[in-house]
Structure 1
Amino acid sequence: MSNGKQFTLYSHDRGPNGWKVVLVLEELKLSYETVYLSFEKGEQKAPEFTKFNPNGRIPALIDHSNNDFVVWESNAIILYLVQKYDTANTISAAGETEKALELQWLFFQASGQAPYFGQFSWFTMYHPEKLPSAIERYYKEAVRVFGVLDGVLAKQKWLVGDKCTIADLVFVPWNVMAVKVFHERYQLDVEKEFPALHRWNAELANRESVKKAFEIRAALITKS
């Protein structure tokens, strides 16, 4: 399965959570192969995958250099990667206080950004009936998350310390989707309404890892 690569990543061509892991793998220059599961075929619920992740959700990562160790949940995967393979702390916090802050933002992303943005996406595009009240609720909550980030980033360049860390990178895939959709549907001008967030998004988008990940994603979507 590894084809000589250190990691096998089980993911989805569009799902944002898998791309969070790709950003970290690219930042750390780790070799990996991605297996893209089809949600339409229910491959994420099939025994071939649930033997790795009993929750039946992407992503899951196999570390072939560590006795085929398997870890799932995107932020848990990211923490595993930096704790084991970012010993120089190039994209992770070093001190005790900064590590606590890093965890704080990882939890906020997993419990705040992803669920609200995800539910907005579900009720907007996939729910069998249109529920304007649900769409409006999740839109407002997503914009509130933008406000939280903007308020902090108005006072500092990065979320933790003086460099880009995983605390910043984990927000990228959902933010890219949301900024585009919110502008199209609600004419939300992020640059005007959330200037610090806009600046931060732009700096993150300019990183080589982000450029490469979204080039790969765009190519996959074009093929599908």
Structure 2
Amino acid sequence: MIDVYFWPTPNCYKVTLFLEEAGIPYRIIAVDIGQGAQFRSEFSAISPNSRIPAIVDHLEEDVTAIPIFESGAILVYLAEKIGRFLPEETSERTVVMQWLFWQVGGLGPMAGQAHHFRHYAPELIPYAVDRYTTEVTRLYGVLDRRLDGRGFLADGYSIADMAVFPWVNRYAKQGQDLARFPNVARWFRSISERPATNSAYRTGPVDPRSSVIAVV
């Protein structure tokens, strides 16, 4: 059994997307970030950076429980654990890892800042809104070019797609119009229609600030 420390944010949905696709049993443990639960000592013992998501894998064959924090590291761990969604062959594995790190280091942080300054900042700061919205637009262009003639970011559905999808799912909050990115829109629609995707988005607590899947 895997415990998933979760609140309905894009990074947390990466984990439930994987677990639903893989059919791995898991238990949701809510971490209400609006109430500061991520800073409690019992959670920071699992996630030293006090950020969600985190998991604890209770190994059946061992009494040891493995805690893991950082969404990218969680996806790699899970993929290696079951031997799916991350190719073994070096060149294709490298492709997946590149796009995973592109999301972790680029799309996620920039889209997160766009969310904040467009919707949650206590006052409107036009420079910040323009800076982050423009950068997210550029990153969607990168994604659109990668998906030209491709069904997925790599050769088959992978943890790279699972990492990117939850952030693109909030495109409207980032000031983006998917009509400008037809390859992204096609890819987004195909993942939205996967049964595991819908199961993942029906899982866990509801945050009124969280968006549902918007199939374009």
Provide the rounded CA distance (Å) in 2 between the counterparts of 1:44 and 1:221.
15
> Given the alignment of the two structures, is residue 176 of structure 1 paired with residue 146 of structure 2, yes or no?
no
CA contact (8 A) 1:93 1:160 kept: no
Provide the rounded CA distance (Å) in 2 between the counterparts of 1:32 and 1:214.
14
**Residue pairs, 1:139-154, within 5 angstroms:** 139-154=133-148
Q: Which has the higher contact order (CA 8 A, sep 6+)?
A: 2
**Percentage of identical aligned residues:** 33
Which residue of 2 is the match for residue 209 of structure 1? 196
Secondary structure in structure 2 of the residue aligned to 1:154: coil
Which residue of 1 is the match for residue 150 of structure 2? 156
Provide the rounded CA distance (Å) in 2 between the counterparts of 1:220 and 1:41.
14
The alignment's C-alpha RMSD in Å is: 1.7
Provide the rounded CA distance (Å) in 2 between the counterparts of 1:40 and 1:156.
38
Provide the rounded CA distance (Å) in 2 between the counterparts of 1:113 and 1:102.
15
Unaligned runs of 5+ in 2: 211-216
Provide the rounded CA distance (Å) in 2 between the counterparts of 1:166 and 1:139.
25
> Given the alignment of the two structures, is residue 220 of structure 1 paired with residue 206 of structure 2, yes or no?
yes
Query: Cα distance, 1:216 vs. partner?
Result: 2.8
Which residue of 2 is the match for residue 9 of structure 1? 4
Secondary structure in structure 1 of the residue aligned to 2:33: coil
Query: Cα distance, 1:213 vs. partner?
Result: 1.5
Which residue of 2 is the match for residue 101 of structure 1? 95
Amino acid of the residue matched to residue 181 of structure 1?
K
Secondary structure in structure 2 of the residue aligned to 1:209: helix
Provide the rounded CA distance (Å) in 2 between the counterparts of 1:36 and 1:105.
29
Deviations 1:75-116 (A, max 9, x none): 10010001011x2x3x22231101111110010000111001
CA contact (8 A) 1:172 1:201 kept: yes
Provide the rounded CA distance (Å) in 1 between the counterparts of 2:112 and 2:186.
23
Q: Normalising by the residue count of structure 2, what TM-score does the alignment of the two structures yield? A: 0.90
Amino acid of the residue matched to residue 12 of structure 1?
W
Q: Normalising by the residue count of structure 1, what TM-score does the alignment of the two structures yield? A: 0.87
Structure with more helix by fraction: 1
**Residue pairs, 1:63-142, within 5 angstroms:** 63-65=57-59, 67-85=64-82, 87=83, 89=84, 91-142=85-136
Amino acid of the residue matched to residue 181 of structure 2?
F
Deviations 1:126-152 (A, max 9, x none): 222210110111111111111001011
**Residue pairs, 1:184-195, within 5 angstroms:** 188-191=176-179, 193-195=180-182
